Amino acid sequence: MRGDQYLLLPGPTPIPERIMRAMNKSMVNHRGPELKEIIKDVTVGVKKTFKTENNVLIYPASGSGALEAAVVNFISPGDKVLSISIGVFGDRFAKIATQFGANVEKLDFKWGEVADPKVVKERIDQDVRKEIKVVLVTHNETSTGACNDIKAIKEAMGDHPAIIMVDAVSSLGATDLRMDEWNLDVVVSGSQKAYMIPPGLSFLACNSKALEVHKKNNNPKYYWDVTAGLKYLEKGQTPYTPAISLLYGLQEALKMIQEEGLENIFNRHRNYRDMVRAAVKEIGLQLLTDDKYASNALTSVVVPEEIGANKVRKFLLEEFNIALAGGQQTLDDKIFRIGHLGYVRQLDLLATLGAIEIALVKFGYDLQLGKGLNKAQQFILNNR
C-alpha cells in the first residue's frame, strides 16, 4: 500500500477537496444565465490575479494554447520577434512564433540563470529602425526554476514600440506580477499551477496597445481569436463551449485565493521555497538556480552524476508514491524538480525531504540522515 500520491510537480498541482466538490456538479446550458454569472465572476477574479483592469479571456486549453493564442493574435507572418529564453518554455514560445511565420531572433541565457536586463537593453538599443515588433519572455521558467525580473526587462525596453508578451503560466498566483503597473501588453497563464485546478483552462490578458496590434494582425485564427472572445465576453459568454466543470473549479479556487489573500499566498510560496532550499543546501546538494532569482514555484536540485536524478525520482515514486518532475532535455537525469506550487502542504515537503535523504543514503551518498530534514524543521519552527 503506497497511499494516494504526493503530487509535488510544478504543475499539475494538488486539487483541494473543496474544489473537487465544486467541480463535481451537473452541467448547465453554456448559453444560460447560470454560466453567465460564473463567467462574469471568474473573469473579475482572474483579473485580480493579473493585477489588471484589462479584459482576460479564458480558453478551454492548456497553457501552451494560451501561448499560441498570444502568437496568432499579436504576431503577423514576417514580424520580427525577439525571444528571450532561459529554458524549455522560453524556447517553446519562440517555436510557436516561428511556426506562425515570425522572424524570430533568439536571445538565450544559460539554463538555470535569468535574462540580464542589460543585455536586453543593448539589443533593443541596437534596433534603431524599430524592426522588432514583439518581445517574448517567460516569467517563471518551469524547466529550471529561475524567475525572470519582468519589471526590469520591460524597463530595459525603454520607449521602444514593440509589445511585450509574457508567459506567466507557472508564475501567476504564486509570484507577484503587475500587468498594469509594469505596463505589460500581453500576459498568459494556465489553470493547473497556482490556480489549484486541473489542466484545461488558460488565460490571456491584453492591453489596448496590444489590441491595436491585434486589429492589424493577419495570421489565420478561429479558436484563439481575441476579437471573438471579447465580443462574447460582453454578453457573459464564450464563442464556443467552455470547459464548464473547470469553470466551477476556478470559481471556487478564486474564492480560496481571495480568502487567503494574494500577498499571503506569495509569502507562503516564498516561505516553502526558502525552506526547501535551506534543507537541500544542508544535505549538500547543489541548487540549479541562485537564491537571487529562485522560483517561488519549484526548486531544481542537482544530483551527483554517480547517482543520477532519475534513480532518486524512481525510488521516491515506487517507495513513497511521491511524484517529482525530472530534468528536461539537456537537464535530463541531472536534476529533479520539487514543486512547491499551489495547494502543496508544508509538511508534505518536509516528508519529501526526509524521503529524499533516505533515497540518497540508500544510494551511497555520504549524508548524516536527518541533516536537511532538521534544517527544514528548524525553519518551520522559526517561521511561524
- What's the min distance (Å) between Cβ of 262 and its own copies? 12
- What's the min distance (Å) between Cβ of 350 and its own copies? 5
For the chain, the three-class secondary structure string (H helix, E strand, C coil) is CCCCCEECCCCCCCCCHHHHHHHCCCCCCCCCHHHHHHHHHHHHHHHHHHCCCCCEEEEECCHHHHHHHHHHHHCCCCCEEEEEECCHHHHHHHHHHHHCCCEEEEEECCECECCCHHHHHHHHHHCCCCCEEEEEEECEECCCCEECCHHHHHHHCCCCCCEEEEECCCCECCECCCCCCCCCCEEEEECCCCCCCCCCEEEEEECHHHHHHHHCCCCCCCCCCHHHHHHHHHCCCCCCCCCHHHHHHHHHHHHHHHHHCHHHHHHHHHHHHHHHHHHHHHHCCEECCCHHHECCCEEEEECCCCCCHHHHHHHHHHHHCEECEECCHHHCCCEEEEECCCCCCHHHHHHHHHHHHHHHHHCCCCCCCCHHHHHHHHHHHHCC
Q: By CB under 8 A, name the binding residues for its own copies.
A: 1-4, 6, 14, 16-17, 24, 256, 260, 264-265, 268, 319-322, 343-348, 350-352, 354-355, 357-358, 361-362, 369-370, 373-374, 377-378, 380-381, 384
Is the CB of 44 or the CB of 347 nearer to its own copies? 347
Is the CB of 141 or the CB of 357 nearer to its own copies? 357
- What's the min distance (Å) between Cβ of 21 and its own copies? 11
- What's the min distance (Å) between Cβ of 270 and its own copies? 13
Is the CB of 143 or the CB of 352 nearer to its own copies? 352
Is the CB of 107 or the CB of 301 nearer to its own copies? 301
Is the CB of 37 or the CB of 260 nearer to its own copies? 260
Is the CB of 5 or the CB of 286 nearer to its own copies? 5
- What's the min distance (Å) between Cβ of 23 and its own copies? 12
**337 known ligand binder:** yes
- What's the min distance (Å) between Cβ of 378 and its own copies? 6
Binding site for substrate, by residue number, is: 337
Binding site, by residue number, is: 337
